[in-house]
Amino acid sequence: MKGSLEQLRSPERLPDALSRFGSSQAWLRGGGTVADVVLRCIKPDGGLSDRHFSGTAQLISLEAYRLGSTVSAPSVVIARDAEGGLETLAGTLVEARVVDVTLLVVDLAPSATVQAAPAPAATAPAPAPVVRETPPAAPVVTPRVGEAPREALGLSSPMPQRPARRTESDAPGTVVPDAGDVVEHFAFGMCDVLKTDGDRIHLRVQKDQRIKEIAPEMLRIVAIDLEGTPRRFRLERKL
């Protein structure tokens, strides 16, 4: 794993700039100054709305993940001057123009160096084996299957294994949240899905930006909206 700092100064779209950095698997984090921001925020009723802000704003934090050619929707926190004073907002970045942004790119793709196996050293041919006469082997009496005692057959039979209990998240048709989705956790509230790693889901709590790691088999996953962008789920406690 290695990281690098990239400086963005040209007035280009910030989503386009993010797609240029990182390998097939990378973590992007940054801050600086942006302008003409469009932020997707969660309304009090749980819906989503796009808010437009003209002029410049301070980019306090930006986090995104790259998997292959896809970059997740960046989660950002911005601050701007408003009539009542300094206004701080958090949400998903839809649009912004770069003014001066510093980006930390952490490459998460494993790098493996494949070394060719050394060729075996040439060896002298082994001498021919000496053939010796051996006495004829005694005849082997093979017992018939019917003569084996029942107790021996019972001991050799394998114990039947109890089938593993299938968890609710493994049931057919269950959709598991992935990177870029939004979930409503029964304890943490609204969270952004950072990545799904086998039996763990990594979340970032929207209200305080803390990172949480949960086990999906302990929860009941309810799909709320699978057609929208991002997809929305509810994570409920199993009773």
Average pLDDT over the chain, rounded to an integer = 79
Residue of higher predicted confidence among 113 and 17 = 17
pLDDT digit string, tens, across residues 88-145: 999 999 999 999 999 888 888 766 544 545 555 666 666 666 666 666 666 665 555 5
Q: What is the pLDDT of residue 111?
A: 61
Q: How far apart are CA 26 and CA 152, in angstroms?
A: 59
Contact 13, 96 (CB under 8 A): yes
Measured over the CA atoms of residue 178, residue 183, residue 186 and residue 190, the dihedral's sign is: positive
C-alpha torsion 46→230→96→84, nearest 10: 10
CATH 2.30.30, applies to 174-237: yes
Q: Which two tokens mark 154? A: 């019972």
pLDDT digit string, tens, across residues 141-199: 555 555 544 444 444 455 555 443 344 444 555 788 999 999 999 889 999 999 988 78
pLDDT digit string, tens, across residues 208-237: 999 998 988 888 899 999 998 899 999 998
The CATH number that domain 2-107 falls under is: 3.30.1330.80
| Residue spans per domain, the chain | 2-107, 174-237
Q: What is the pLDDT of residue 63?
A: 93
